[in-house]
Amino acid sequence: MPLTTSEIQALDSAHYMHPFTDHKALAEKGARVITRGEGVYIWDSEGNKILDGMSGLWCVNVGYGRKELVEAAVKQMEVLPYYNSFFQTTNVPAVQLADRIIKLAGERYSHVLFGSSGSESNDTIVRMVRHYWTTLGQPERSVIISRKNAYHGSTMCGASLGGMSGMHAQGGLPIPGIVHIEQPYHFGLAPDQDKDAFGIEAAGWLEQKILEVGADKVAAFIGEPVQGAGGVIIPPKTYWPEIQRICDKYGILLICDEVICGFGRLGAWFGSELMGAKPDLMTFAKGVTSGYIPLGGVVVGKRVAEVLIEKGGEFNHGYTYSGHPVACAVALANLDLIEKEGLVERVRDETGPHLAHCFAALAEHPLVAGAETFGMVAGLVLMKDKHQHLAFDEDLEVGMICRKHCFAHGLIMRAVGDRMIVAPPLAMTKEQIDEMVRLIRLCLDATLQELK
Ligand code: PLP
């Protein structure tokens, strides 16, 4: 006999500790049990069909139920389910995937170091850039500059690089040697300022921080091309070229966290390509396997790889699952699918512009003070009075009210404060975007009604 929903919920509450969850609150309501997925839809244990506007957690880019990925995993498990890449061994899928990623990333890069998640990849980065500078005889260059409200994962380094105050408050973070500057959030920080001028000013905060810390002590700057978990913060187009200029001026390594933006989400293989940035290192995870199996890593630029390989000796770092053959085989099948279906080009030329068009129309809703999209990420800002730029009282938790209506209407949308965000599967069609936007409108109406 399969377990009933309430039996699953009781077991869940008794034994399963969820990520980022208030368990007391969860126990009162009971978790929503997701049982299957197909295309851009998921179903819960009560049989409700839900349009997944978030691709799981920004990762199920090719959509659910893709047989090609399942077959790739089965085939590889039969041949070689596991072997490590320690002690001068390797495996074929890992080699092929590294080669494939380098070809996609371009000639600035030469190597890939694999892990199993975005957090691990960002942990790797901290050790790698410090080892790089030490190898070059500059061990004092160890400080990494990141941004407030950034998200780079949950490990000690990942959460320290991230700029989430709630995360820093738990576990004594950030760890030493990681400092933060303000995020380039035009709408939130300087809505009346010219956007391009704001982009230059926001990048200038990096230079100020470099001078404050001392240029000879700064190892690297890290940023997401578009901040995802922070609420889909899309920087002005002037921002990243100016960040690049500043990094070049002081010889500082530039790291782009492509965990969300990589593998097509913004309409290019890597988001930084579209931003006018030339990172020395890129971290990735999520979309590389469309979330079907855990895999992440670091794409290492020649500037860093050549020093590490020629002069760095053994890099005492790596994971049991670095280059996991099954994960790499699934990633290869995922990249095949993305290429075969032209998903990156589709986001760039078709679905991305369509989403932008639909969100521009949503901006006319009385609750919506701002609507922004980039490829297949989008955000709406809800405000009490959009004409006077008046925010809702935080205690009202308007975003959470809206999210509740989304669930009730069979739509997954995420609330970050009063920003409502989506990152749908790249495989979503224009018709499905229309369906999603129709549901969003209904949820906005229901939220407005409840607030009256
Ligand atoms: N970096 C970014 C930009 C992310 O959005 C995330 C996760 O959402 C991470 C890193 C951490 O990835 P993971 O949860 O796989 O450790």
- What CA–CA distance (Å, rounded) separates 130 from 317? 13
The Cα-based distances of 54 to 27, 173, 215, 376 in angstroms read: 24, 28, 39, 10
Query: pLDDT tens across 148-172, in order?
Result: 999 999 999 999 999 999 999 999 9
The amino acid sitting at 181 is I
Query: pLDDT tens across 388-447, in order?
Result: 999 999 999 999 999 999 999 999 999 999 999 999 999 999 999 999 999 999 999 999
Q: Average pLDDT over the chain, rounded to whole?
A: 97
Helices 325-340 and 67-79, axial angle in degrees (round to 10): 150
Two structure tokens written together for 228: 């995802």
CA of 65 to the centre of ligand 1 (A): 23
Which residues neighbour 375 within 8 Å (Cβ) at sequence distance 6 or greater? Answer: 264, 265, 266, 267, 347, 348, 352
Contact status, residue 45 vs residue 10, Cβ threshold 8 Å: no
> Does position 214 have pLDDT exceeding 90, yes or no?
yes
Query: pLDDT tens across 76-89, in order?
Result: 999 999 999 999 99
228 lines ligand 1 (CB under 6 A): yes
285 lines ligand 1 (CB under 6 A): yes
pTM for the whole structure: 0.98
CA of 260 to the centre of ligand 1 (A): 7
3-state helix, strand, coil in the chain (%, to 5): 45, 15, 35
CA angle in degrees (0–180, nearest 5) for 344-438-66:
40
Contact status, residue 425 vs residue 341, Cβ threshold 8 Å: no
- What CA–CA distance (Å, rounded) separates 424 from 61? 8
pLDDT of residue 446: 98
DSSP state of 39: B
Q: List the residue whose alpha carbon is closest to atom 10 of ligand 1.
A: 152
Helix (H, G, I), strand (E, B), or coil: what is residue 312?
Answer: coil
259 lines ligand 1 (CB under 6 A): yes
pLDDT of residue 443: 98
Query: pLDDT tens across 336-348, in order?
Result: 999 999 999 999 9
CA of 101 to the centre of ligand 1 (A): 19
253 lines ligand 1 (CB under 6 A): no
> Does position 1 have pLDDT exceeding 90, yes or no?
no
Overall average pLDDT of the 220-231 stretch:
98
- What CA–CA distance (Å, rounded) separates 256 from 283? 7
- What CA–CA distance (Å, rounded) separates 432 from 352? 13
Query: pLDDT tens across 299-338, in order?
Result: 999 999 999 999 999 999 999 999 999 999 999 999 999 9
59 lines ligand 1 (CB under 6 A): no
- What CA–CA distance (Å, rounded) separates 46 from 35? 9
224 lines ligand 1 (CB under 6 A): yes
178 lines ligand 1 (CB under 6 A): no
Query: pLDDT tens across 61-76, in order?
Result: 999 999 999 999 999 9
Q: List the residue whose alpha carbon is closest to atom 1 of ligand 1.
A: 152
